[in-house]
Structure 1
Amino acid sequence: MKTLATAILLGTAAIAMSSVAGVAPAMAQQAPATAAQQQAAGQFIDRLAGQAFAVLEDKSLSKDDARDRFRTLLRNNFTIDETGMRLIRRYRAPGSPIKLTPAQLEAYRKALPDFLVNTYSDRLYDFATAKVTVVRTAPRGNRGDVDVYTRITDPKGGKPIDAIWQVKSGLKPLVANITVNGVNVALTQEADFNAYIERNGFDALVDFMRKPK
């Protein structure tokens, strides 16, 4: 999960952006993202990175305080529930080998936010000197979503990382997925979950997600 952790830690931040004038929410839109939406998505990712690094570089914060702020940033700026449901879509399909109950789905939903935060917050300080630069943007699909192409570099050295952030447009942009150096991190996490469920069962996955990291 290192790749996903890197991408999330470098990008999460709390930003409340107003919608671009005349832009409809992404779910209601049936057209590719406009130039204004692409610009807004690029600014969103740029500001996300800036806010995240402000936490990283604030020497007055203890590690616990920084993690608390990071929890808030993650919850506010990622499509956690939507992404979480996508990660287990195989087991929500009509032909699923496992029939999930409403209670199982609710338990999974409750465990997901803290699982993501607890998994990745321990690596918060690993990337304190990194820098995210927006390279370009491009429309994604026909619902106003935008792919934001970035280059992640570390002044201390190391090979640059190319990351594509899938941003859902709307009254408040949200990160829906990230592709890092060609690796779709949501698909990778989905494969990890599928493998765990096949070996141990769905309830065991939820129990694993609840354990403190």
Structure 2
Amino acid sequence: MRHYPVRAAIFMALAAAAMPGAAQVAAPSAAVAGDPAAPVFVQKLANDAFAVLRDKSLSKSASRDKFRTMLQENVALSDIGNRLIRRQRATITPAQYQAYQAALPEFVLTAYPDRLYDYSDASVKVVRTVARGPMTDVFTRVTRPGAQPVDAVWQVKKTGTGRMVVNNLTVSGINL
């Protein structure tokens, strides 16, 4: 499967709402539930992201600043970027790699925000969690009035300091 840097933007809670598609969250299983802090983290991140979308007192510039902060604090963007470029990594110079790592967050922040305002009426509900080694998959359902639900699986991990971050996201069965 090919990966593109633009898809890293989907790692924000609101991006899950921006991807239309059929519901695909699997039924609960006997799998180990994973870190109990992971669903709390995902729910809070989603709620905070949608609160930014709903806040009419913020300009688009102020909203983007809040998204930038949320992204930097809650998404393993460097790890994601490394996975996205891994096939090309051996063919680029260190300077090109550094430029890529520096540009990726800004690109992510400018690729989707305007589009996501259409989803300010969406809500995210945690359906279940499953342990995957050191990661926890958090299965969610994004709903908005009059639209089909969208299912997303957030892969969450703890950093070396014990903070939770989004490490990957699959939306409607598509690994982003």
Range of TM-score over shorter length: 0.7 to 0.9
- CA gap 1:135/1:3 in 2 versus in 1, 3 angstroms: farther
In structure 1, the gaps of 5 or more residues are 13-33, 94-98, 186-213
- Give the 4+ runs in structure 1 shifted more than 2 A: 1-9
The letter for the 1-side match of 2:47 is: G
* CA gap 1:11/1:139 in 2 versus in 1, 3 angstroms: farther
Give me the whole-angstrom Cα distance separating, in 1, the residues matched to 2:171 and 2:84: 17
Distance 1:113 1:134 in 2: 26
- Are residue 105 (structure 1) and residue 94 (structure 2) matched? no
Report if the CA contact (8 A) 2:8-2:80 is conserved: no
Q: What root-mean-square deviation, in Å, do the aligned CA atoms of Structure 1 and Structure 2 show?
A: 2.4
Q: Within 2, Cα distance between the matches of 1:114 and 1:4?
A: 11
- What is the Cα deviation at residue 57 of structure 1? 1.6
Take 2:116 and 2:172, find their aligned partners in 1: how far apart are those partners?
20
Aligned residue type for 2:153: I
Tell me the matched-pair count: 156
Asked whether the 8 Å contact 1:7–1:163 carries over to 2, the reply is no
Normalized against structure 2, the TM-score is what? Answer: 0.80
Which residue is equivalent to 1:8? 12
**How far did residue 5 of structure 1 move?**
5.1
Contact 2:15-2:116 within 8 A present in 1 as well: no
Identity of aligned residues (%): 50
Match in the other structure for 1:61: 58
Indicate conservation of the 8 Å contact 1:163/1:181, yes or no.
yes
Instruction: Return 62-71 or 158-167, whichever deviates more.
Output: 62-71
Larger Rg: 1
Structure 2 residue runs without a partner (length 5+) = 17-31
2:141 is the counterpart of 1:154: no
Shift in CA distance, 101/7, structure 1 to aligned 2, threshold 3 Å: closer
| Whole-angstrom CA distance in 1 between matches of 2:81 and 2:172 | 22
| SS of equivalent residue, structure 1 residue 104 | helix
Matched, 1:132 2:124: yes
Is 1:91 aligned to 2:84, yes or no? no
State the 1:131 CA deviation.
0.4
Q: Higher relative CO (CA 8 A, sep ≥ 6), structure 1 or 2? A: 2
Query: Does structure 2 retain, via aligned residues, the 8 Å contact 1:5–1:123?
Result: no
